[in-house]
Amino acid sequence: MSRSNFYNRFHKVTGLQSSFIEAENFTYRNLIKILEKYINNKKPVLDIGCGVGTIDYFLAKRGYDIEGIDISEQAINICKKNSEILGLKDNIKFKRINFPKEKIRGKYDLIICNEVLEHLKEDKEAVKAIFNLLYSKGIAVFSVPSKNAPLYKMGFADEFDRKVGHLRRYLAKELEDLLKKENFEIKETIRTEGLLRNFLFLNPLFRSLIKILNRIRLVSDLVTFLDNFTIYLFGESDIFVIAQKP
């Protein structure tokens, strides 16, 4: 099965999005917190592996010019329909691109590469391409699943990794070294997603609970507080590295 068909399967039953997420959204709050710190009115923004574009609508609503790319044609079709529903056609664009094999034209102030590198055989080529796509002093936000994840070390994440197409996981230093080899300067490394949060996302039985957490801020805040505590006890399940082009 081709990579594009593999990822098209995930979006066959995806519904359209009729509203914007909030900054405290349980699924995206870790990424949003980092973007709010580093985006600093940077334009334009490229989201590599945008999926169905949820984070892009969040940023576009705040006035950012966004371009989202994904290998899945099904996902891009959903993105285009959603951008019309949400009234964002003028400052958001979506394209089906097989990155990094297919080249992207243009330069960007900020690039999001959220949970993408672990899906690519060509992770080194992807990092090099991202470096070349940035303006000088541009920022790239990378996130990857961690080898240090407690459920992964216990063998409970193997089936999940296979189903979603993960080819590898990373240690923080491995990702940092990969970025440094392409001349990135490391601004910050953040270890996120503790045992509790990772358990919820790995187990399909808890999808309905995640929907509740996405909607009810008080519950989301409480679960996030408890989850952050587990990072100190057991280790992180996800890694963010923020890198800058000199």
Q: What is the pLDDT of residues 61-110, one digit of tens each?
A: 999 999 999 999 999 999 999 999 999 988 899 999 999 999 898 999 99
Provide the residue ranges of all domains of the chain, joining segments of one domain with +: 3-11+18-244
What pLDDT is recorded for position 13?
Answer: 61
What's the predicted TM-score (pTM) here? 0.95
pLDDT tens digits for the chain (246 residues)?
A: 677 777 777 676 677 888 999 999 999 999 999 999 999 877 799 999 999 999 999 999 999 999 999 999 999 999 999 999 999 988 899 999 999 999 898 999 999 999 999 999 999 999 999 999 999 999 999 999 999 999 999 999 999 999 999 999 999 999 999 999 999 999 999 999 999 999 999 998 888 899 999 999 999 999 999 999 999 999 999 999 999 999
Which of 54, 56, 68 shows the shortest CA–CA distance to 26? 54
What pLDDT is recorded for position 1?
Answer: 61
Structure tokens at 160: 């999940």
User: How many other β-carbons are positioned within 10 Å of the β-carbon of residue 2?
Assistant: 9
Distance of CA 17 to the CA centre of its chain: 18
Write down the CATH number for the domain with range 3-11+18-244: 3.40.50.150
Residues 6 or more apart whose Cβ sits within 8 Å of residue 4: 71, 72, 73, 98
Task: Give the span between the Cα atoms of 91 and 93, in whole angstroms.
Answer: 7
Task: Give the span between the Cα atoms of 35 and 142, in whole angstroms.
Answer: 11
What pLDDT is recorded for position 2?
Answer: 73
DSSP state of 156: S
Element (H, E) at 207: helix 207-215
What pLDDT is recorded for position 128?
Answer: 98
User: How many other β-carbons are positioned within 10 Å of the β-carbon of residue 76?
Assistant: 22
Amino acid at 70: D
Amino acid at 159: E
What pLDDT is recorded for position 72?
Answer: 94
Task: Give the span between the Cα atoms of 149 and 231, in whole angstroms.
Answer: 9
What pLDDT is recorded for position 205?
Answer: 85
